[in-house]
Amino acid sequence: MTSERCADAEALLLRPRIFREIELPNRIVVAPMCQYSAENGMPNNWHLVHLGSRAVGGAGLVFTEATAVSPEGRITPGDLGLWSDEHAHAMKPITDFISSHGSVPGIQLAHAGRRGARKKPWDGNLGLPKEEAWSLAAPTAIAFDEGWSTPEELSSDGLERIIEQFVLATKRAVLAGFKVLELHMAHGYLLHSFLSPLSNHRRDAFGGDVRKRAEFPLRIVAAVRSTWPQDLPLFVRLSAVDWMAGGLTIEDSIEISKIMKSFGVDLVDCSSGFNVPREKMPAGHPFQVPFAARIRREAEIPTGAVGFILDAKEAASILADGHADLVFVARGMLHNPYWARHAAAALGANPRWPTQYARSVRHFHDGAWQPTALGPGQIRTSA
């Protein structure tokens, strides 16, 4: 894929990007980030404020956290869900608010697989008590780690049931007003566990070489793509490598991405790891960007870069150098809901703020925030 260049390379981060019939106002994405704050899968005011504030903050695309297609597909009891029409109706005010502030609402659909039925991270991430837990599903009956529950190997009927759950959740995503849908095939959850030889030891049509291991995830892609409106984009998040000998490789992910493109996937969101404990994953720097670059170049499909992207100029250079088409920001967005507007200012642009905030707009000069001078008739208010 030819690298996209522009005279002012940094401006590319702030330019619109079209996928199918959806135009993102810029190329900054709020990455899906679990909040573990739902009850029985239902969104509440936390989700409205959390996601809505990132739209006010200027992100082009705002994703929900991983949203379970069934109660058994949750990581914890606090996960968002989309297994009933009531869930869809509860999400509609959130998508309406995101859209009203010029951002595009996106949803990530997921099934936790063998990594489910856990307590919330701040409660220790331990297994739920027996009376609260649910049965786990996986390609093979291998526990994620010592002390974790052993999942059930999915039968043919079980596979068909989960495909149907993704299809129904997709229909509800339309009802809820989402405009971009992403399938979670990373981080050791169900679909990633099929793709990886470390967790998929099946000897049937769903196990073996990389094409067979991809068979079940691809059936979900096909079913979702045929259900999701053709004018709306479909993304997939992959763990590009497993960071463990004998695991998923970047060459595998390139091959998988090529096939997914032929199935109608519009972008691959390139993460990595979390399918096995004690993996050898580096930390700190945006170490996953080379995966997005290789998949973009060799699979000839748009990609998203994600992982420790905190600096606006670094985010801009990732796009200007042709490594990815979108930048997914996670920790930076948790730290600062207005990351996108501040990034625009840092790149020399003049970000437009909501009129409600206009009297406190500040410009960024040489590392210091300085208040805008008041114009005639403007009233100085107390801090």
Cα Dmax for the chain: 76
Residue 288 CA to residue 284 CA, distance in Å, equals 10
Residues 22, 23, 25, 28, Cα dihedral to 10°: 60
- For the chain, the C-alpha Rg in angstroms (whole number) is 21
Number of Cα atoms under 13 Å in the Cβ half of residue 240: 25
- Are the C-beta atoms of 194 and 100 separated by less than 8 Å? no
Residue 81 CA to residue 173 CA, distance in Å, equals 11
Phi, psi of 173 (to 5 degrees): -65, -35
Tokens representing 133?
């837990």
Amino acid letter, residue 101: H
4: exposed, middle or buried (C-beta count within 10 Å: 0-12, 13-18, 19+)? middle
Q: Using alpha carbons, list the distances in angstroms from residue 198 to 7, 137, 141, 247, 368.
A: 45, 16, 12, 5, 49
- Are the C-beta atoms of 214 and 221 separated by less than 8 Å? no
Our answer to whether residue 36 is catalytic in this structure is no
Tokens representing 125?
């991430």
Number of Cα atoms under 13 Å in the Cβ half of residue 322: 11
- Are the C-beta atoms of 94 and 179 separated by less than 8 Å? no
Phi, psi of 65 (to 5 degrees): -70, 170
Phi, psi of 288 (to 5 degrees): -90, -10
Q: Using alpha carbons, list the distances in angstroms from residue 349 to 46, 47, 129, 342, 367.
A: 31, 30, 52, 9, 15
Q: What is the set of active-site residues? A: 189
